[in-house]
């Protein structure tokens, strides 16, 4: 195989959902966020696995993702759309039984006029200033919304991955002030909010990154392994340089492996000279710059010629890569390139 292989452990994915479901509590419905093609891992296999694990409500970013997901899941599971009811979404929402999370009065009017009686939820802005109705707007439409019967009121925490951040309590207080007297089911927490405790759970939780093995769910089982094929090996004498810009110079006799992957495959140039790939448990430093299609790896420590090297593996998860690239695990996952082969495994892992 001349491109990398992304090995996706669906049993670990299901185990992570069950663990977060248990943390949410028996009285709470645990949904699943599968936007961005199941965080880059393939929404078909991801969503079907989570449905078998027990998820009955799913969240996507836009209506187009909802259409794809409905074709995967068939009738029954609820599919909620964070972007609400945008212009041009009516047919998709109606024909594929999607539930828009309405974000302002314009969307509310559009939805009620285009699809009277069709289910909807409302997203409220409790301080993140990204999506949802602000408090003043919400107060004006509360009587109408409650008369129409929303199936969910939701908001989103800005700093849930920092448990001590005062913004968490501020948003919790704001959410309660906006929703306590409505009698409508409520949702505030994604993965980080679940870990903040029961006060943040309400009626529905919406785990996302924790399902896929990322922070802040430190107990998560790793879901992905990325193995990259070695195209060629060569020997360097001390003083020889590697890659664009001559950014790495051999200080000793070095065996170098050239690997088929690069920034076109989602491996950031910020990782240049900054991480290792693994052969089993042996780290092999990435030397020189990450280029579009190739990486150069110092494999001098290996006693054999490697056929593949692992970028993602139990020894180095998505958050380790994210830290080295000064980003977050979400970005690492969702940027994984389409050239990789994807193998979805159902068997249980250790």
What is the Cα–Cα distance from 336 to 316, expressed in whole angstroms? 16
Q: Which of 39, 212, 235, 244 is catalytic?
A: 244
Cα distance between the two ends of the chain: 26
Q: How confident is the model at residue 2, as a pLDDT?
A: 80
- List, for residues 289-317, the tens digit of each pLDDT value: 999 999 999 999 999 999 999 999 999 99
What is the Cα–Cα distance from 278 to 316, expressed in whole angstroms? 8
What band does 346 get if pLDDT is binned at 50, 70 and 90? confident
Average pLDDT over residues 78-94: 98
248-249/241-242 β-pairing: antiparallel
Q: How confident is the model at residue 77, as a pLDDT?
A: 97
State yes or no: is 23 an active-site residue: no
Average pLDDT over residues 57-74: 98
Q: Is the pLDDT score of 241 beyond 50?
A: yes
Q: How confident is the model at residue 350, as a pLDDT?
A: 36
What is the Cα–Cα distance from 52 to 14, expressed in whole angstroms? 8
* CA angle 290–253–301, rounded 5-degree value: 70
Q: Is the pLDDT score of 349 beyond 50?
A: no
What band does 59 get if pLDDT is binned at 50, 70 and 90? very high
* CA angle 116–151–89, rounded 5-degree value: 50
State yes or no: is 340 an active-site residue: no
Q: Residue 108: which H helix or E strand, with range?
A: helix 105-114
Q: Which fold has domain 224-345?
A: Lyase, Ornithine Decarboxylase; Chain A, domain 1 (2.40.37)
Q: How confident is the model at residue 347, as a pLDDT?
A: 64
Q: How confident is the model at residue 40, as a pLDDT?
A: 95
Q: Which of 35, 39, 200, 263 is catalytic?
A: 35
Average pLDDT over residues 137-157: 97
Q: How confident is the model at residue 188, as a pLDDT?
A: 98
What is the Cα–Cα distance from 187 to 196, expressed in whole angstroms? 14
What is the Cα–Cα distance from 24 to 193, expressed in whole angstroms? 10
Of 14, 322, 9, 24, residue with least CA distance to 191: 24
Percent of the chain exceeding pLDDT 70 equals 99
Q: Is the pLDDT score of 107 beyond 80?
A: yes
Give the DSSP per-residue string, 238-269.
TT-EETGGG-EE-SS-EEEEEEE--GGGT--G
Domain positions in the chain are: 10-212, 224-345
What is the Cα–Cα distance from 317 to 170, expressed in whole angstroms? 32
Across the chain, what does the average pLDDT equal? Answer: 96
Average pLDDT over residues 62-81: 98
Place of tokens 């996952």: 333
Q: Which CATH class is domain 10-212?
A: alpha beta
Q: How confident is the model at residue 99, as a pLDDT?
A: 98
DSSP-based three-state secondary structure for 262: coil
Q: Does residue 217 contact residue 210 with C-beta atoms inside 8 Å?
A: yes
Of the listed ranges 65-79, 157-171, 336-350, the least confidently predicted one is 336-350
What is the Cα–Cα distance from 138 to 135, expressed in whole angstroms? 5
What is the Cα–Cα distance from 240 to 349, expressed in whole angstroms? 43
Q: Is the pLDDT score of 207 beyond 90?
A: yes
Q: Is the pLDDT score of 1 beyond 60?
A: no
Place of tokens 């699943």: 32
Q: Residue 162's CB: how many other CB atoms inside 10 A?
A: 14
Place of tokens 């890569």: 321
Average pLDDT over residues 149-170: 98
């Amino acid at each position: 195989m001349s491109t990398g292989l992304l090995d996706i452990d669906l049993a670990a994915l299901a185990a992570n959902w069950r663990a977060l479901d248990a943390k949410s509590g028996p009285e709470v419905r645990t949904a699943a966020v599968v936007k961005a093609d199941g965080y880059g891992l393939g929404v078909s296999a991801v969503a079907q696995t989570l449905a078998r694990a027990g998820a009955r409500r799913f969240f996507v970013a836009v209506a187009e993702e909802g259409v794809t997901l409905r074709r995967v899941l068939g009738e029954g599971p609820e599919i909620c759309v964070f972007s609400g009811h945008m212009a041009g979404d009516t047919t998709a929402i109606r024909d594929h039984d999607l539930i828009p999370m309405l974000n302002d009065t314009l969307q509310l009017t559009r939805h009620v006029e285009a699809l009277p009686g069709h289910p909807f939820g409302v997203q409220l802005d409790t301080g993140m200033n990204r999506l949802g109705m602000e408090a003043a707007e919400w107060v004006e439409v509360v009587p109408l919304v409650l008369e129409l019967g929303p199936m969910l009121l939701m908001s989103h925490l800005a700093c849930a991955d920092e448990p001590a951040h005062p913004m968490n309590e501020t948003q919790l207080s704001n959410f309660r002030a906006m929703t306590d007297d409505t009698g409508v089911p409520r949702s505030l927490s994604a993965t980080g909010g679940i870990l903040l405790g029961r006060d943040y759970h309400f009626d529905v939780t919406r785990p996302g990154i924790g399902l896929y093995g990322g922070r802040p769910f430190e107990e998560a089982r790793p879901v992905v392994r990325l193995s990259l094929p070695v195209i060629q090996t060569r020997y360097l004498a001390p003083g020889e340089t590697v890659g664009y810009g001559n950014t790495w110079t051999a200080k000793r006799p070095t065996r170098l492996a050239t690997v088929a992957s690069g920034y076109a495959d989602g491996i950031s140039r910020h990782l240049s000279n900054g991480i290792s790939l693994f052969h089993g448990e042996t780290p092999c430093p990435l030397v020189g710059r990450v280029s579009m299609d190739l990486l150069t790896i110092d494999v001098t420590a290996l006693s054999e010629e490697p056929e593949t090297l692992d970028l993602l593996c139990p020894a180095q998860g998505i958050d380790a890569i994210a830290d080295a690239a000064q980003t977050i695990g979400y970005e690492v996952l969702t940027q994984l390139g389409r050239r990789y082969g994807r193998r979805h495994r159902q068997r249980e892992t250790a």
